[in-house]
Amino acid sequence: MTLLLLISGNSDAMKQHIKDVVEVVKIDDKIVSQPGRIKNIIAEYSATRIVVGTKDLKYQRFQTIWKFLFLYVGKTNSMLIDDSGSENVFSFSKLLFVEFPLLIAECFASAFMIVWAYIVFPRLQRKKNQ
């Protein structure tokens, strides 16, 4: 059975692009921070495949985190989909060699910007006050 975890959008439009959706569960996108709760929802519906649905996949946050959750719950035949039928299918090799390194690079870039701001902004403030 396929479980559609609907973040936003039209579940009927998404069902047209998915072969065997049986249950639709409306969720908030912040549930991604609660993997135990997601695992409980999947177990409650005895789902063998997970599809996360959203209005527009291009603007959906946390796609890489969702794929790590698919891996965590053992549902590697899962995907993310939007109203128009665009799919972001789980691929272990893409997750490991493309998306995970990009996530790490984004974390390093964010940390660099925080450190840079911590160093530069006080200097600018001192110059302004002089």
Bridge partners of residue 53, in order along the sequence: 6, 81
Can you give the length of the chain in residues?
130
Mean pLDDT of the 28-54 span: 92
**pLDDT over threshold 90, residue 18:** no
Bridge partners of residue 81, in order along the sequence: 53, 87
The answer to which of 2-6, 20-24, 25-29, 66-70 has the lowest mean pLDDT is 20-24
Task: List the one residue out of 61, 58, 62, 122 whose CA is nearest residue 84.
Answer: 58
Q: Taking all residues of the chain, what is their mean pLDDT, rounded to a whole number? A: 92
Q: What is the DSSP letter of 59?
A: G
**pLDDT over threshold 90, residue 120:** yes
Mean pLDDT of the 10-34 span: 89
Taking only the tens place, the pLDDT of each residue in 89-107 is 999 999 999 999 999 999 9
Chain centre to alpha carbon of residue 100: 12
Confidence class for position 124, pLDDT limits 50, 70, 90:
confident
Q: How far apart are CA 91 and CA 100, in angstroms?
A: 12
The Cα angle at residue 79 between residues 24 and 7, in degrees rounded to 5: 45
